[in-house]
Structures are given as structure tokens and as C-alpha cells.
Structure 1
Amino acid sequence: MTKTLKLTIGSLALMGLAACAAPNSSNTAPSERQMDKENSLQAYHWRLFATADKSGQQAPGITGANGEPVTLNFTDNMMSVDNLCNVLGSGYTIKGSKITFTSPVSTMKMCSDPELMRNEQAVGKLLPTATDWSMAKADSAPDNPAPVLTLNFKDGTKWRLKGEPTASTRYGSEPTRVFLEVAAQREACSHPMMPNYQCLKVREIQYNDAGVKTHTGEWMYYYGDIEGYTHTPGVRNVLRINRYELKNVPADASSKADVLDMVVESEQVSQ
């Protein structure tokens, strides 16, 4: 007996990832410096790490699911909020230091954690009240400082979010979209460096623009890991993958990096 959760492929178009802009220089025109900052919004995942009230005092934080930080992701004209009960999505516009978010829409999943649901509702109400933004380098890690995004809101509260490079920023290219079905159980496979290695067993799936499955490939062993994916034995998944081509890799290394974008379908398989 199986229990299946399915999402429609055609309704799951998430936002793409943008490459990081070139660093500013003292000779860059103000409008170009502003454009670089706006592009940098898209080059990072923004993890909320500090909040302050209108008096500037540290305020209670907003805890995300499983203790993960609430995270903002930007594209050309959309912003999403991750690590709450649902994924929130909002349009946004920037004019100089001013930033405006539209009222968020969300997926419709219910969570058993009432605090997480309250946090989600609070975030959904707060974001449309944003007034302005700024970006600066963090005070710590001088050799490789992470940028910090500050958002100010009408009630005087403030968010500080630390930037973590997106996969496109880290790999320096735009990905190819691939769908992989992952079998419920790993299988023993031959690995030259790791005896008794257990491979994921995967096959590629193709869909048309309407989300209808048009092709299913042959099963094969998958050596290595899919970044962001943790396999649960007994659960079959269909994954939406961002695949990056790597350059100048050793002869015995993979020429690609697969990064999980979304779990499209999940099914508990009985033994």
C-alpha cells in the first residue's frame, strides 16, 4: 500500500537564479552601483539573523521550520520566503533605497506547529510594510565577508539578513533544469574508492509545457550526492534539479553538479 503526495508540474515554476554582478569601483556611476546592488539581491539567499524593534533594541527572532532561519530569495521581479510552513511569494519593486513588496501569496499546506503558523502569518503581514533597504559587508570574516541586507518597516522594526551565495553564484553559470525520479531504496554499486557503497537509483523524466510526462528514461546508478537532498529509505521521490556544468575538473571527477530545486512528487513505498 502506498501513500502519495503529488504536485502539478505546470504550477511549480519557481524563480530562476541570477549570477552575481561585478564588483563596484570608485569610477562607477551611481546608477550602475545601484544596479550592482540590485543584482546582488538575486545572487544570494538572505538568511534572517537579527531583528530590532523601533527603539533599536534587539527583538525576539522569527524562528523558521526545524530551527532554520527565515530566508528571502529574489529574482527580477519576484521574492519568495522559505523555511516557514508554506512558501510565501511576493512581487517587489525598488526605487533607489525604497523597496515595496506586494501582499504575499502562499501554498496551502497546514502545519502541526502553531508557532510556525503564527510566524508565517506575522511575516506575511510585515513584508508589505517594508519602506527601505540597504546592503553592506558584514563586520566579521574580513577575508571573505558576507553581505548583509537590512530591511526597515513602517512600524520602525528592522530585519538584518546575511547573504549566502546561490548555486549560480558559486558555480558561475546558469543551470539546466532536469527532473530525476529517485527509487525508494539505495542499491549496492561498484565504487572504485568506497567499498560497499550504496548508490541512489535514478531515472530521468521529461515533461511538456503543460506538465504532462512525455518520456521516462532507464534506471541507472547515481554516484555522489545531490546537493540539498537527503534520501529517506522507503520513499520514492521525483526531484526538480538544477544541473551546473563544471569546468577544469579532474579526470576522475564529475563534470556536473546537481542541486535540488524542489521535491515534485513523494511516495511512501511499502516493503
Structure 2
Amino acid sequence: MKSTFKLTIASIALMGLAACAAPNNSSSPANSERHMDKETALQAYHWRLFATAGKDGQPAPAIAGAGGEQVTLNFTDKMMSVDNLCNVLGSGYTLKGSSISFTSPVSTMKMCADPELMRNEQAVGKLLPTATTWSMSKADSAPNNPAPVLTLSFKDGTQWRLKGEPTATTRYGSEPTRVFLEVAAQREACSHPLMPNYQCLKVREIQYNDSGVKTHLGEWMYYYGDIEGYTHTPGVRNVLRINRYELKNVPADASSKADVLDMVVESEQIGK
């Protein structure tokens, strides 16, 4: 028995908004340098919603994300996406000093079985275009390496507080290459120099044209190590969109690449 979930290449274009750019080192006038640092920092972090406040400034119920994950905002060049709801929401944004505005979000069209998650998604979609101001500060909990905190204020007086988590581009210090990998349903025994009885993922690379049609299937090969952000479920074949980072100054016996899951494009349950 098989069940398959697929996304077309056209439909995943919206989801690509979640890719974040690394901060740049371009110079700026002294009187705007601090603001530019904060503006580029928007793109250097995943912003995870950890606290909300109501119109009276008192803590308000948290907006729950899918599977207990925090609702997360990701910024690219003038585009923003919201993850960990039922669908991915995408919006343009504009900054002017401490002011911020979002366009009305567009969404992928997946239906979710969880009605609360759908309600939360609708609430987020309505609230974002009413954003008025933004500010960034450093958390007090880790003075040696404090995570930044983004505060968004809205017209009705409510606020969001979001904690920054460095993106893979920020952590690895380079822009990634986009790769599609098909992962076979079952792991297989492979020879690992450091781990006896190791079970490798079995993968092959897929290439698509601009219309989303597969143009090339690579040879199956063993994948040693892990794909960051991906947990394999036995019996499920997946096609993954991967961000691949080139690593520098790695030991001779270590991989020179780091693969980070961007999204699952296709998933198929291989049953009995």
C-alpha cells in the first residue's frame, strides 16, 4: 500500500521565502550604522515567537504552532515567511526607521486536520498587516553570547516578542547551493570507518527544469552522517530540498559539506 504527498516546484516557490541571507559587511554612514546592523540581522536569524502581550501590556496566551513548535518568522530581502503553522505564509515587508509594515500574506493551500492550528494561522494572517513598529535588543539570559530579541508592535496595542536563532547561512558563513535529494524508504548497512554496524541513508540527486519536470536522476549512493533538520522514518521515501554549505578548514577525515533540510518536497509511504 502506498500513500504519496507531492508539492510541485511552482508551489514550493512560496516556501522558498524561508531561506535567509547572511549579514553583509558593507559600510554605511556612521549615523545609520547601528540601524543597518539591526536591519541586516533580521535576515541572519530565525525569529521564534516566545511571548505575546495584550493591549494592556499583560501577558497574553501564546500562539501555538504545529506539533508544539514555535511560530517562526524568517526574513529575506524584502520578503518574510511564517513557518510552523498549517501553511507557510509569505509577505512583503518595508522598514523605515523603527516603523515596519507587512503586505497581506499569501499562503500555500494545504488543509489541516487541527482546527485550532487553522484558527491560529488565520489570526496571524490578519494581525501581521497591522504591524506598526519593530525594535531589537539582546536577551539578558546569556551575557557572553546573548541572543537578540525582536519586538513587533501592532495597531491594537498587542506585541510579539521573538527570540533569534542563527540561520544555517549565518552559522556556516556562506551562501548555500540548492540540491534535491531522494531518500530511499529504508536505511542499509554500510561500512563506516568509525561506527560498526552503521545504517546509512540511501540517496540519489534529482535535477528539475524551470517547469518542475525531472530532468536527471543520479545514481543511488550511501549517505554517511546526517542531514541537519531531517529525521528519517523507516518505510517512507522522501524527496528533500537541501541547502548545501561548503565548509572550510575541516579535518581530513571529515566531510567538506554540510546539508541542511530546507523542506520535504515529496513523501511516499511504502507499505506492505
Secondary structure (helix, strand or coil) at the match of 1:178 reads: strand
1:151, distance to aligned residue in structure 2 (A): 0.2
Distance in 2 (CA, whole Å) between partners of 1:93 and 1:20 is 18
Is 2:205 the partner of 1:204?
yes
1:22, distance to aligned residue in structure 2 (A): 4.9
Aligned to 2:160: 159
1:33, distance to aligned residue in structure 2 (A): 2.2
1:11, distance to aligned residue in structure 2 (A): 3.0
Distance in 1 (CA, whole Å) between partners of 2:10 and 2:249 is 36
Secondary structure (helix, strand or coil) at the match of 1:10 reads: coil
Is 2:7 the partner of 1:7?
yes
Distance in 2 (CA, whole Å) between partners of 1:180 and 1:158 is 40
Secondary structure (helix, strand or coil) at the match of 1:9 reads: coil
- Assess if the C-alpha contact under 8 Å between 2:78 and 2:92 holds in 1: yes
Secondary structure (helix, strand or coil) at the match of 2:10 reads: helix
Superposition pairs of residues 1-271 of structure 1, within 5 angstroms: 1-13=1-13, 14-15=16-17, 16-22=19-25, 29-271=30-272
1:21, distance to aligned residue in structure 2 (A): 4.2
1:32, distance to aligned residue in structure 2 (A): 2.8
Amino acid aligned to 1:97: S
- Assess if the C-alpha contact under 8 Å between 1:236 and 1:266 holds in 2: yes
Secondary structure (helix, strand or coil) at the match of 2:121 reads: helix
Amino acid aligned to 1:110: M
Secondary structure (helix, strand or coil) at the match of 2:124 reads: helix
1:34, distance to aligned residue in structure 2 (A): 1.8
Q: Deviations over 1:232-260 (max 9, x none)?
A: 11110010000000000011111000000
Distance in 2 (CA, whole Å) between partners of 1:134 and 1:22 is 21
Amino acid aligned to 1:94: L
Structure 2: stretches of 5+ with no match in the other structure: none
* TM-score (normalised: structure 1): 0.96
1:17, distance to aligned residue in structure 2 (A): 2.1
- Assess if the C-alpha contact under 8 Å between 2:184 and 2:236 holds in 1: yes
Distance in 1 (CA, whole Å) between partners of 2:9 and 2:118 is 26
Paired residues in the alignment total 269
1:262, distance to aligned residue in structure 2 (A): 0.9
1:28, distance to aligned residue in structure 2 (A): 5.8
- Assess if the C-alpha contact under 8 Å between 1:188 and 1:196 holds in 2: yes
- Assess if the C-alpha contact under 8 Å between 2:183 and 2:240 holds in 1: yes
- Structure 1 residue ranges (4+ consecutive) displaced by more than 6 angstroms after TM superposition: none
CA RMSD of aligned residues (A): 1.5
Percentage of identical aligned residues: 84
